[in-house]
Amino acid sequence: MRQKLYSEYYTSVGVKKIYFDAAHYTKGISSKCMNLHGHTFRVDVVVYGEIDSETGMVIDFSILKKIVREIIEEYDHTIIVPRKDLDHITIKGPFNVSIKTIDYPEATTEYIAMDIAKKIYEKLKLPVKVRLYEGSKNFAEVLYDGGQEDEGDTRST
Ligand SMILES: [Zn+2]
């Protein structure tokens, strides 16, 4: 059990610029968004926690980086699709196809960020913020805390 060192501080640590490449399609305002297309996604992660009295750290940066990289690996060089579309996809060619399904309505940057945040939370059990860049200029940011404090929460996942 971690001992709380400084109750007057809120501490967090983060790692950034972890990249992966993936394809998706979305219902954007341009019909082009529905075309299967790719992005280089960039992931920045912040984890909120107390400083461990033994190590003086919230979490070792290299451990955090390793965990994020392992999770990101599942999405890298895949086509990210919402589970509801899985049965409607057929792609054939002289190439490999790796499909990554997510349990959200669409494979938008927002939902992919939520999926990643939840996975990081499940590993660390610490509130986590994920900023996911689609390309270099656009990003979605989500904060996930496992929903512990929301007793009457009826969100479905
Ligand atoms: Zn896109």
Report the top-level CATH class of 12-144: alpha beta
pLDDT digits (tens, 9 = 90+) for 77-116: 999 999 999 999 999 999 999 999 999 999 999 999 999 9
Residue 30, pLDDT score: 86
Q: Annotated catalytic sites, by residue?
A: 33, 77, 134
Which range is least confidently modeled, 20-34, 56-70, 122-136? 20-34
- Report the alpha-carbon distance of residue 139 to residue 11 in Å, rounded: 24
pLDDT at residue 114, as a whole number: 98
Quote the pTM value.
Answer: 0.89
Cα of 138 vs centre of ligand 1, distance in Å, is 10
43 pLDDT more than 60: yes
Q: How far apart are the CA of 58 and the centre of ligand 1, in A?
A: 34
C-alpha 31/C-alpha 40 separation (Å) is 20
How many angstroms separate the Cα of 2 from the Cα of each of 12, 14, 52, 55?
Answer: 15, 19, 6, 10
CA of 103 to the centre of ligand 1 (A): 18
> DSSP readout, the chain?
-PPPS-TT---EEEEEEEEEEEEE----SSGGGGS-EEEEEEEEEEEE-PPPTTTS-SS-HHHHHHHHHHHHHTTTTEEEEEGGGGGG----SSS---EEEESSSS--HHHHHHHHHHHHHHHH-S-EEEEEEETTTEEEEEEE-TTTT-TT-----
What spacing in Å lies between the alpha carbon of 148 and ligand 1's midpoint? 32
Tens-place pLDDT, residues 110-127:
999 999 999 999 999 999
Query: What is the predicted pLDDT for the residue at 8?
Result: 86
The full set of domain ranges for the chain reads: 12-144
